Structure 1
């Protein structure tokens, strides 16, 4: 893979990245041999993982379409990875061409690729940011002039909060993001779980420690709590394929085996 321009000189390309491993599982081309080796190790232990990744992306797309249908025309996508085909702004603009999106990721390679891919698109922006610093993300997103937090916004946290350990207080991080939004805003979230998972899934979790972002598996109750005072819309926090499937193509025989929950919460004006 050709390296994108704008990479920091001190980046360590010998260590796998969660964003690039994810890109590999989705069939993307923005990954290195070190990422592919780790992905193949994880896949050998958890044969459903690639399916889980695809189900997560399908959930995100369904959620984005639902939010645009609710009138959301600006999105903050945190933990976006590399916005290849079928990304948030493409899906959203199929319904509303005016949609603006700010993509945020911690991986400098993902950020550099994103800026290269999105060059010339004035309705998108890219922030190099860490979810553990939500105030900075909010400030940087606003600085781009693409998001007005005085209007409803869609905050997307698809497959990223499980990279925040309990020691970094993810509840407080989510509270900060929710507090920055106004009524009518929505929060979309998907998260890996240990509930109902076989031992090999837990072994794969330990492999994630080889990236800079180890995964913390959480329960449905934990994931639901991340929505705080937001109203969780139907069908609630459920296994990914069960969240408003478009049709038979979204169905799987055993949704639990994919090991992840997803849901969408709406800011109805109460405490966030």
Structure 2
């Protein structure tokens, strides 16, 4: 059955075009979920045909998310903006941070119709949570959104989560400027968490994988594949938290054994703190 957990009602309300693959639903498929359609599975399998380790990378990415959220709560962050929310699962940001710090506010930001419908039904029905339509490419509209402003106080530090939303956006679309605009809106003491697939260890996989996502987005015919050096400007203006921008397995692992062969999970991650205006 297509999208066993994505109800017909959700599709109807969202006006979903199931002929186009979607990043959140592909990620759900990589993690073994059922909230995806045939077109998502086809695109995901095209990626897996080039790099079967992507399933492992998805799990490593999820484990990092848990570690990063725990760290930010320990630093006293009690409000989060999660861009590129993805579909609801057992690792929802608001549940994780509110378990550590009750009363924490979480604003989810997403522009996929199915994710918005599911999020508003499941993620944002508790106190301190909201689901806002938007994306990283339109920071001005997002920052002015009344729903975001209702739940996030920009006079206090914020945790901005950019989990896998910047990869494959070509340089000509200037994602670096968009991140800089978001950073400028955050008060001192805020943190930005970024995860980004890089191709240092698998340069031969760059073109075929990026081509899959390029076709999905209908974007330009070039750009999107980056190395570690390429993504460092995303962290401009931030003080990097130790150990810096590293492979996902290397960022504060729960056990030293978990960071073996870090290049096998070729996702770079970093956490930066804004200290100035």
Give TM-score, length-normalised by structure 2: 0.90
Q: For each residue in 1:166-208, what CA deviation from the matched residue of structure 2 results, as whole angstroms up to 9, or x when unmatched? A: 1111111011010011111000001111212152353222222
Distance 2:19 2:227 in 1: 33
Partner of 1:256: 263
Q: Give 3-state SS (helix, strand or coil) of 2:153's partner.
A: coil
Paired residues of 1:231 and 1:265 also in contact (CA < 8 A): yes
1:217 aligns with 2:225: yes
1:129 aligns with 2:134: yes
Paired residues of 2:136 and 2:179 also in contact (CA < 8 A): no
Partner of 1:18: 23
Partner of 1:108: 113
Rate the CA distance shift 1:47–1:88 in 2: closer, same or farther, 3 A. same
Cα-Cα RMSD: 2.0
Query: What is the Cα deviation at residue 141 of structure 1?
Result: 6.1
Paired residues of 1:243 and 1:262 also in contact (CA < 8 A): yes
Query: What is the Cα deviation at residue 41 of structure 1?
Result: 2.4
Partner of 1:83: 88
Distance 2:30 2:166 in 1: 19
Distance 1:150 1:6 in 2: 39
Q: For each residue in 1:99-151, what CA deviation from the matched residue of structure 2 results, as whole angstroms up to 9, or x when unmatched? A: 11111112111111111212521211111212110111122265451100110
Aligned pairs for 1:36-185 (under 5 A) are 36-140=41-145, 143=148, 145-185=150-190
Rate the CA distance shift 1:207–1:143 in 2: closer, same or farther, 3 A. closer
Larger mean Cα displacement after TM superposition, 159-168 or 169-178: 159-168
Paired residues of 2:198 and 2:268 also in contact (CA < 8 A): yes
Partner of 1:35: 40
Structure 2 residue runs without a partner (length 5+)? none
- How many residue pairs match? The answer is 268
Distance 1:20 1:49 in 2: 14
Structure 1 residue runs without a partner (length 5+)? none
Larger mean Cα displacement after TM superposition, 141-150 or 52-61: 141-150
